[in-house]
Chain A
Amino acid sequence: MDAIIKLDHLEKTYHSAETPVRAVRAVSLEIARGDFVAIMGTSGSGKSTMMNILGCLDRPTGGTYLLDGVDVSGLSRNEFADVRNRKIGFVFQNFNLLARTSALDNVKLPMLYNHSGSKLSGKAQQDKAMKTLEMVGIGKRWDHTPSQLSGGQQQRVAIARSLINDPVLLLADEPTGNLDTRTSFDILGIFQRLNDQGITVIMVTHENDVANFAKRIIIMRDGKVRSDVQVQQRSIAEVELKKLEAEKDDDDS
């Protein structure tokens, strides 16, 4: 199996509280390239802590984490930033777009922090950002600022931003938590499409409906993996959206 992520006895203990909190306890798992994983679990079970470590925003306090074959625990602060910039795309529950900044500029932002030699020209950056916005279905609103966009639209911009540096891994912490069902399905449809194109997607959610769009569901409890199963009857966004339309028609009649 070609594993993009390989965790071996991963540990994360917070020492900020009076008593240390072991948020992640000896987690060992592999995630294959091209997989679509949903991480579930009750609040406080360690999902976000896990995502932060996977996303190189935080360092484990024990164990090893191989990302794309590289042991990231030994990386410097700058190298960490570069990994986030080039290998990983983040999508947050609350979108985390820069306020008073146009959708296009938000999407271009990760390209500005690309410290690798291969930089696109200003014009090429503009074109790529525009294309990515179009791909997530929000090309027409490229000049809107976040406050002029709905939640679903903002999340599309955030997804476009996460994709701009062609990451191998897309991390989404409760990406549909603030969205209504229909919009959630739209967003999940985008994830499925990206996954079909080969991007590995890891998504945290506490809704079974949402988790069912993934290929694999990992359930955490008290910092440990309690269950790890393949999804049997996977939801497909287009189908689910059609069902929603039908229900809506029923309600109307």
Chain B
Amino acid sequence: MKFRVIIFTAISALFRNKMRTLLTALGLIIGVAAVIVSVGMGNGAKAQVMAQIASMGDNVILIFAGSVNRGGMTSGAGGAGTLTADDAMALERDVPALELVSPGATGGSRVAAGNQNWSTKIYGASPEYFDIRRWTFTQGGPFTDRDVKTSAKVCVIGNTVATQLFGEPELSLGQTIRIKKVPFTVIGLLGVKGADARGQDQDDTVVMPYTSAMKRVMGTKTLSIINVSAVHGANIPVVVQQITDVLNQRHHIGGDRDADFKVLSQEEIAQMATATSKIMGLLLTIVASVSLVIGGIGIMNIMLVSVTERTREIGIRMAIGARGSDILLQFFIEAITLSCLGGLTGIAVGLGSANLVSNFAGMPVLITSGPILLAFGVSALVGVTFGFYPAIKASSLDPIEALRYE
């Protein structure tokens, strides 16, 4: 029997019962669509994280005070208060592979200008911070080491803060903003960075000398973070170990005393940030696999029903000389055609949903040909796997009994 004829027979059998065909393929359609959307979301998140990491700067290592939770955030406000400016200086002195070091103090506060006010993140740092984290300036520039020494009442602000306080970001330069009733002069407007790996707006920030932040805003004598960058080509794990050694010694860590700081490389931060999306992706993959299997069982079920319904047809075909293999091929091709049609529909639905997710839910989705081919391959495989048994059943019918079937 010609292959073309078999395919045609299969398609016309499927079109004879359009609604049932659709319902049968639904499990597969959902499964394939889920694979495409989930993998697309996973890849999108990963790509975004990688872009963020890249924008964070080269060879960045962060040292957090206190214990550190999964997201890489210090626990509690300002951490456990264990890092000092002296620690930062010691690192600069004792770890030769470090290029830039910036002591940091972080906290949140309301900021006000005129009758506008806005709640934002206050980041105390040294001028090196802007190089380490690759900040650019739209207007003005960074504060100086002198400003750090004098705890000067100057700051640079992110685009979001500028917009909130002044409407037009460009109007902010030279203006005065009040933080905890202390007036600060805006000497720079930061370039736009967008959301970070955790989806937080990086432009929603005020950066000032860390001395000013500690003394005038937070009222603390300790640092919550130290930003450092290693020289180009440095062996990061080694540098991380050197930093840890220096701080362990200074903080008398060892024996039964747990470390009161946490050193994280850019790499580790990336891994932490992608861990969540990896788990999400895994869950979605499980969901997708389950619905693919359910889709496959649905196909097997309907093919079994179809074999029973068409027992007489099988009998007729056998009586006029169809071999068992002819019948097997007919039902096998029908199952595979069904699953491939389901797979193609699933791909269409998946691409459509991915589009919706990225356009309306604003989540990053990255579609590549890999998962599409994979999903299609899996649906064809499902057809092969679950179509085989009904086809075998059809082909092994006894012609006389099949003919007698009502």
Contact = CB atoms under 8 A, between A and B. Distances in A.
Interface of A: 52, 55, 57-58, 77-78, 81-82, 84-86, 90, 92, 96-100, 109-110, 112-115, 161-162, 165
A98 B317 CA distance: 9
A90 B324 CA distance: 19
Interface string B16-32: 10000000000000000
Contacts of B399: 57
23 contacts: A57-B318, A57-B319, A57-B399, A57-B400, A58-B400, A77-B324, A81-B318, A81-B321, A81-B324, A82-B323, A90-B319, A96-B312, A96-B315, A98-B317, A110-B320, A112-B1, A112-B2, A113-B320, A113-B321, A113-B323, A114-B321, A161-B320, A162-B320
A17 to B, nearest CB: 14
A82 B317 CA distance: 12
Contact of B321 (A84, A97, A100): A84
B319 A113 contact: no
B403 interface: yes
Nearest to A89: B320
B334 to A, nearest CB: 15
B12 to A, nearest CB: 9
Contacts of A100: 16
Select the residue from B316, B317, B318, B400 with max chain A CB neighbours within 10 A.
Answer: B316
Nearest to B324: A77
B14 to A, nearest CB: 13
Select the residue from B2, B5, B321, B400 with max chain A CB neighbours within 10 A.
Answer: B321
Contacts of A90: 319-320
Interface of B: 1-2, 5, 16, 312-313, 315-326, 399-400, 403
Nearest to A52: B400
A115 B2 contact: no
Contacts of B326: 113
A113 B322 CA distance: 5
A7 B316 CA distance: 26
B310 to A, nearest CB: 10
Contacts of A114: 321
Given A57-B399, A113-B326, A98 B316 contact: yes
A25 B321 CA distance: 27
B325 A113 contact: no
A38 to B, nearest CB: 21
Given A82-B323, A85-B322, A161-B320, 6 more contacts: A78-B325, A81-B322, A81-B323, A84-B320, A85-B320, A98-B316
A112 B313 CA distance: 15
Contact of B324 (A55, A78, A85): A78
Contact of A96 (B2, B5, B403): B403
A96 B316 contact: yes
Contacts of A97: 316
A114 B320 CA distance: 10
A46 to B, nearest CB: 14
B401 to A, nearest CB: 10
**Closest CB pairs A-B (n = 8):** A85-B321, A81-B323, A110-B320, A84-B321, A113-B321, A113-B322, A112-B1, A96-B316
A165 B326 CA distance: 17
B400 A110 contact: no
Select the residue from B312, B317, B320, B403 with max chain A CB neighbours within 10 A.
Answer: B320
Contacts of B322: 81, 85, 113
Nearest to B4: A122
A213 to B, nearest CB: 24
Contact of B323 (A52, A96, A115, A162): A115
Nearest to B2: A112
A84 B399 CA distance: 11
A80 to B, nearest CB: 9
A61 to B, nearest CB: 14
A69 to B, nearest CB: 20
B5 to A, nearest CB: 6
B323 to A, nearest CB: 4
A216 to B, nearest CB: 25
B321 A96 contact: no
A57 B132 CA distance: 86
A55 B221 CA distance: 103
Contacts of A99: 313
A164 B326 CA distance: 19
Select the residue from A57, A81, A90 with max chain B CB neighbours within 10 A.
Answer: A81
B321 to A, nearest CB: 2
Contacts of B312: 96
Contacts of B313: 98-99
A113 B317 contact: yes
A52 B318 CA distance: 13
Select the residue from A82, A92, A96 with max chain B CB neighbours within 10 A.
Answer: A96
A244 to B, nearest CB: 32
A93 B317 CA distance: 16
Contacts of A98: 313, 316-317
B275 to A, nearest CB: 57
Contacts of B400: 52, 57-58
A86 B320 contact: no
A52 B2 CA distance: 28
Contacts of A55: 319
A168 B317 CA distance: 19
B5 A78 contact: no
Contacts of A84: 318-321
Contact of A109 (B16, B317, B323): B317
